[in-house]
Homo-oligomer: A and B are copies of this chain.
């Protein structure tokens, strides 16, 4: 068993504990504890408090979080469960979480699930075993047993990016409906009329509300969201985007623009277009969603909808902190506004395509 302590200048120094601080300040440990705890500091008179703080400083005292946790049942640790950190939307979310936690004393512990339900369950259990104080979930499906469990067991949780159908849980999401509206309006303003949509999985709130947003925006713009011009991807992936695009073109060859549910699906359209010899934006325009890195370097650069990922992470962390500190805080629903980033994958429909082919 390792003995608490560290090597300093080659010498082993045992860890300094609260008792050491108390001894040096010639007070009782509980007094020292009260001084060092902001919530109880006011109970102690100024001169004694100062004796304690200077003693703590001189000794380089660092409280033992394990002792604190054992006593209080709070670990100041939050679990963050995401599908895959290699998906470029998540790094900025994570940075936002990390930065928002920075001053609070909380630490985020990350885990990836690869959208695998079993793995989600395992990781959830492990997080509980680790006694996290709360969870930030980016893995929610519209009906999600994990979220149900959190609510049932009163585990503080905030959903991020995706939400669930039941409304009694806090979440921080992007305004997907509005975002898709931006894309549709952008295309409509350029003169597009026959606009197609390649949606994400409708079991995810992102896929669902972008799909709904598309239908609504078309209607609002006086355009028709034809069923034959709507394709559903099994996942937000390039390969699904490619597949769905080719399938779409089997059904309809008159569309002049595609609103993809995310950037990867849009990339799939790029692949398919290259394969069958269509030009972007000459033969059709494409929009993505998320504005992941390097889209500006594509040929053509991809018009997309930018989501404030960093702010999303930061806001989720703040919402969870409020719940963690305030006890039973109200359920919070935060929706962030995205913005359109117009690039070269969208242009006015050409004469040829405008007529239909």
Contact = CB atoms under 8 A, between A and B. Distances in A.
A171 to B, nearest CB: 21
A72 B86 CA distance: 35
A153 B270 contact: no
A282 to B, nearest CB: 16
Contact of A294 (B75, B94, B107, B294): B294
A3 interface: yes
A70 interface: yes
A2 B74 contact: yes
Given A85-B95, A86-B92, A98-B111, A72 B129 contact: no
Contacts of A88: 86, 88, 293
Nearest to A76: B130
A131 interface: yes
Contacts of A75: 66
Nearest to A99: B112
Contacts of A9: 152
Contact of A98 (B65, B112, B154): B112
Contact of A72 (B1, B62, B297): B1
A62 B7 CA distance: 34
B10 A152 contact: yes
A196 B131 CA distance: 54
Interface residues of A toward B: which range? 35 or more
Contacts of A107: 109, 130
Contact of A62 (B66, B73, B129, B153): B129
A153 B7 contact: yes
Interface in A111-143: 111-112, 128-131
Contacts of A72: 1-2
A331 interface: no
24 contacts: A1-B73, A2-B72, A2-B74, A4-B73, A8-B152, A64-B70, A64-B131, A65-B130, A66-B70, A66-B75, A66-B131, A67-B70, A84-B91, A84-B95, A85-B94, A86-B91, A86-B95, A88-B293, A91-B91, A293-B294, A294-B294, A294-B297, A297-B298, A298-B298
A299 interface: yes
Nearest to A86: B91
A159 interface: no
Interface in A1-23: 1-4, 6-10
A119 to B, nearest CB: 10
A107 B130 CA distance: 9
A110 interface: yes
A70 B73 contact: no
A217 interface: no
Contacts of A6: 153-155
B69 A66 contact: yes
A68 to B, nearest CB: 8
A267 interface: yes
B91 A85 contact: yes
Contacts of A108: 110
Most interface-central of A1, A62, A86, A108 (chain B CB within 10 A): A86
A63 B7 CA distance: 31
Interface string A277-316: 0000000000000000110011100000000000000000
Contacts of A155: 6
9 closest A-B pairs (Cβ-Cβ)?
A299-B299, A66-B69, A86-B91, A66-B70, A85-B91, A7-B153, A2-B73, A6-B153, A7-B154
